[in-house]
Chain A
């Protein structure tokens, strides 16, 4: 014990703000929500034990729960690959050794800082509105625009585009990863006359696999949790016709609009299990496609 402490005390000391926050601010509410998920609780009167009632209702009767899953899965499936592709693309452009790279990095990171804000969500709503900028540009080419946000067939894509635009943090991580690839690999390939596309698929991608994996896991979790943009753009309801009923939006409404904190807690736990399952799946498949350079076999 004594030796353990001596070796690791500094580490735990640096971790302590997080640990204190986790044990005193997060763990309590997490356990409370697990308990509440088995109750009916309207936030004003005391919770009433309901066993598996919430979960039974959710899986057996709740059409909107399935609708919310459908919307969220579609969003994750579209936005994560697009955002990662965008991030990798921009990172590779910036990796060309520009002198003003610091400036460009900051500029490309900016949307990630702004993107989650309410102001940008409002701006998005205006841009894709019937008389918005997007339709204005389309009109220049003689294309008659539609109400992108007010049509359930297209509304989700506006949020996918918004998510794609916030590629900053995976981009920075990719950029660091790209810097870590030894230059001599490329030089050797160039001398052998390997075309650029093959250099990308045979050197860049495999060497970057651990970073891609890291970004994939992080961004998938992030995408499942998307809330602000969908909430603001759909006026908090998931409208039109529940096409923007993201899981978190549904959860929020159940909790804070309809006073069903017990049910909302159950929804939260199901989301947690879904995210955990996807993360586990990513880890399980990773051994087939992620290779770490220092793990020689």
Chain B
């Protein structure tokens, strides 16, 4: 046999086709979908439980769940997007959904809603953020708000008395000092939140600004940034918050958090994650609002903690729609999910969940109810490039934490960099 160019190309073509074949339904009765989410141990357990329930109700469909931590999730998602092999159903975040919709990676669900996916019971406006340019791309699977989980036992032992729903930054600083002092430095008052842009956003809004303007530019001012980093610097210099070596490790897994390891008494999380923090701890965890600066507003807002989206690469669309519909409507699934992904955005969902809540979860639901009157309007959707701005915030903030830059200089650099990032991402 002589190997001609044509034959060689033909062979390669055939080989390529053969590898592509498994994508087609090889066995007609076997239907399957893939669901990809970022998780934590609690969430993964709950989600696999929901998958079990779904497969029990629909034995003809197999769901393969894929889970990974937040930090790696977006890298893997981007790679899969590029490779054209996104999962059928993915979990989306309000900071990223715009980016994926604008690149055409998600599929509009307008034609499914009302027919295959029932959202008629949803709260007014619950799907507003997931609706982009008038089309629904992300179905909210839970509402949440910012929160400060704190170690109740440590706070009480140190004699800290405060109102979790109205405490100020001064009271917060006092609490940190008291805790550090009463434990002889064993436990500091709080994690150093310098590098948490999610917590910083509350600070910005309390001052009457927005993180991003409506036309997608940076909205926080250098003063916002400088005052925020200066606030934490003062606590750091006083030694009443966690040390810099822990602070500069970015996007730590939940088990690595100081509050879980017992080094500090408080941290920042979204309210829906408090249950997962508690699951890793023995001491009881309480929920407080982000402390407000005296004379300023609260800055909190309610946001969808995550969305379910159908991707451009969806194979079995009917199965994907059925799966999403069960997620948000099947009472058994709602109970299995618990609160980890947020408060269910419908009265039906909340009622289904109520009897099964544990102590921490009840506290979270109460917290969520109690902060409602103190909550401002929802900010506009984050522009393309917001993920990169977040990285810049952590990177430049690190220089402040390590004492290489003053809060003022770093703030000027951050706002400048953020402007450049947003310009480049949206040109």
Residues on A lying within 8 angstroms of B by beta carbon are 24, 42-45, 61, 130, 146-147, 150-152, 235-237, 239-242, 256-259, 261
Which residue of the partner chain B has the closest CB to A153?
A: B402
For the complex, is B79 an interface residue (Cβ under 8 Å from A)?
Answer: yes
A selection of 26 A-B contacts at a CB cut-off of 8 Å is A42-B103, A43-B78, A43-B82, A130-B246, A147-B244, A150-B246, A150-B248, A150-B249, A152-B398, A235-B249, A235-B251, A237-B250, A237-B394, A239-B248, A239-B250, A241-B398, A241-B402, A241-B404, A242-B395, A257-B75, A257-B78, A257-B387, A258-B388, A258-B425, A259-B99, A261-B82
Contact residues in B for A256 (Cβ distance below 8 Å): 75, 78-79, 82
The complex places the Cα of A182 from the Cα of B388 at a distance, in Å, of 60
Interface string of B389-415 (1 = CB under 8 A from A): 001001100110010100000000000
Contact residues in B for A258 (Cβ distance below 8 Å): 387-388, 425
The complex places the Cα of A152 from the Cα of B103 at a distance, in Å, of 36
Q: Establish whether residues B105 and A44, one from each chain, have CB atoms under 8 Å apart when the complex forms.
A: yes
CB-CB contacts below 8 Å: B245-260 with A: 245-246, 248-251
Contact residues in B for A43 (Cβ distance below 8 Å): 78, 81-82
For the complex, is B74 an interface residue (Cβ under 8 Å from A)?
Answer: yes
Q: Establish whether residues B81 and A44, one from each chain, have CB atoms under 8 Å apart when the complex forms.
A: yes
For the complex, is B71 an interface residue (Cβ under 8 Å from A)?
Answer: yes
Contact residues in A for B399 (Cβ distance below 8 Å): 241
The complex places the Cα of A147 from the Cα of B242 at a distance, in Å, of 13
Which residue in B72, B103, B425 is a CB contact (below 8 Å) of A236? Answer: B72
Contact residues in B for A257 (Cβ distance below 8 Å): 74-75, 78, 387-388
User: Which of B79, B243, B387, B398 counts the most A-chain CB atoms under 10 A from its CB?
Assistant: B398
Interface string of B371-397 (1 = CB under 8 A from A): 000000000000000011001001100
- Nearest Cβ in chain A — how far from B270, in angstroms? 20
- Nearest Cβ in chain B — how far from A29, in angstroms? 13
| Known contacts A240-B398, A241-B404, A257-B75; A44 and B250 CB within 8 A of each other | no
The complex places the Cα of A141 from the Cα of B58 at a distance, in Å, of 64
Q: Which 9 A-B residue pairings sit nearest by Cβ, starting from the closest?
A: A147-B245, A43-B82, A44-B103, A150-B245, A240-B248, A241-B398, A130-B245, A150-B248, A256-B78
- Nearest Cβ in chain A — how far from B128, in angstroms? 25
For the complex, is B10 an interface residue (Cβ under 8 Å from A)?
Answer: no
| Known contacts A151-B402, A152-B402; A236 and B248 CB within 8 A of each other | no
Contact residues in B for A240 (Cβ distance below 8 Å): 248, 398, 402
Q: Establish whether residues B104 and A44, one from each chain, have CB atoms under 8 Å apart when the complex forms.
A: yes
Known: A150-B246, A259-B103. 15 other contacts (CB 8 A): A43-B78, A43-B82, A147-B244, A235-B249, A236-B71, A236-B72, A239-B248, A239-B250, A240-B398, A241-B248, A241-B395, A241-B399, A256-B78, A258-B387, A258-B425
Which residue of the partner chain B has the closest CB to A152?
A: B402
Contact residues in B for A44 (Cβ distance below 8 Å): 81-82, 103-105
What DSSP secondary structure best describes chain A's contact surface?
Answer: loop
The complex places the Cα of A251 from the Cα of B248 at a distance, in Å, of 22
For the complex, is B12 an interface residue (Cβ under 8 Å from A)?
Answer: yes
Contact residues in A for B99 (Cβ distance below 8 Å): 259
What DSSP secondary structure best describes chain B's contact surface?
Answer: helix
- Nearest Cβ in chain A — how far from B71, in angstroms? 6
| Known contacts A150-B245, A258-B388; A239 and B394 CB within 8 A of each other | yes
The complex places the Cα of A151 from the Cα of B247 at a distance, in Å, of 11
Interface residues on B, range: 20 to 34
The complex places the Cα of A236 from the Cα of B12 at a distance, in Å, of 36
Which residue of the partner chain A has the closest CB to B248?
A: A240
- Nearest Cβ in chain A — how far from B257, in angstroms? 15
CB-CB contacts below 8 Å: B45-76 with A: 71-72, 74-75
Which residue of the partner chain B has the closest CB to A145?
A: B245
User: Which of A44, A146, A147, A261 counts the most B-chain CB atoms under 10 A from its CB?
Assistant: A44
The complex places the Cα of A87 from the Cα of B105 at a distance, in Å, of 49
| Known contacts A147-B245, A258-B387; A236 and B75 CB within 8 A of each other | yes
The complex places the Cα of A42 from the Cα of B384 at a distance, in Å, of 12
Contact residues in A for B245 (Cβ distance below 8 Å): 130, 146-147, 150-151
Contact residues in A for B79 (Cβ distance below 8 Å): 256
| Known contacts A150-B248, A239-B394, A241-B404; A45 and B75 CB within 8 A of each other | no
- Nearest Cβ in chain B — how far from A291, in angstroms? 44
- Nearest Cβ in chain B — how far from A57, in angstroms? 8
The complex places the Cα of A152 from the Cα of B401 at a distance, in Å, of 12
Contact residues in A for B388 (Cβ distance below 8 Å): 257-258
Q: Establish whether residues A24 and B251, one from each chain, have CB atoms under 8 Å apart when the complex forms.
A: no
| Known contacts A45-B103, A151-B245, A258-B388; A239 and B78 CB within 8 A of each other | no
Q: Establish whether residues B244 and A259, one from each chain, have CB atoms under 8 Å apart when the complex forms.
A: no
Contact residues in B for A61 (Cβ distance below 8 Å): 420
The complex places the Cα of A24 from the Cα of B8 at a distance, in Å, of 11
Contact residues in A for B74 (Cβ distance below 8 Å): 257
Which residue of the partner chain A has the closest CB to B404?
A: A241
The complex places the Cα of A24 from the Cα of B11 at a distance, in Å, of 12
Which residue of the partner chain B has the closest CB to A240?
A: B248
Q: Establish whether residues A24 and B71, one from each chain, have CB atoms under 8 Å apart when the complex forms.
A: no
The complex places the Cα of A270 from the Cα of B402 at a distance, in Å, of 32
The complex places the Cα of A49 from the Cα of B78 at a distance, in Å, of 22
- Nearest Cβ in chain A — how far from B383, in angstroms? 14
Interface string of B69-94 (1 = CB under 8 A from A): 00110110011011000000000000
| Known contacts A43-B81, A150-B249, A257-B75; A237 and B402 CB within 8 A of each other | no
Which residue of the partner chain B has the closest CB to A242?
A: B395
Contact residues in A for B391 (Cβ distance below 8 Å): 237
Contact residues in A for B420 (Cβ distance below 8 Å): 61
Contact residues in B for A147 (Cβ distance below 8 Å): 244-245
- Nearest Cβ in chain A — how far from B380, in angstroms? 21
The complex places the Cα of A236 from the Cα of B394 at a distance, in Å, of 13
Q: Establish whether residues A259 and B78, one from each chain, have CB atoms under 8 Å apart when the complex forms.
A: yes
- Nearest Cβ in chain A — how far from B244, in angstroms? 7
Q: Establish whether residues A150 and B78, one from each chain, have CB atoms under 8 Å apart when the complex forms.
A: no
Which residue of the partner chain A has the closest CB to B247?
A: A150
Q: Establish whether residues B250 and A235, one from each chain, have CB atoms under 8 Å apart when the complex forms.
A: yes
- Nearest Cβ in chain A — how far from B187, in angstroms? 16
- Nearest Cβ in chain B — how far from A76, in angstroms? 23
Which residue of the partner chain B has the closest CB to A155?
A: B248
Contact residues in B for A236 (Cβ distance below 8 Å): 71-72, 75
The complex places the Cα of A2 from the Cα of B411 at a distance, in Å, of 72
- Nearest Cβ in chain B — how far from A9, in angstroms? 13
Which residue of the partner chain B has the closest CB to A235?
A: B250
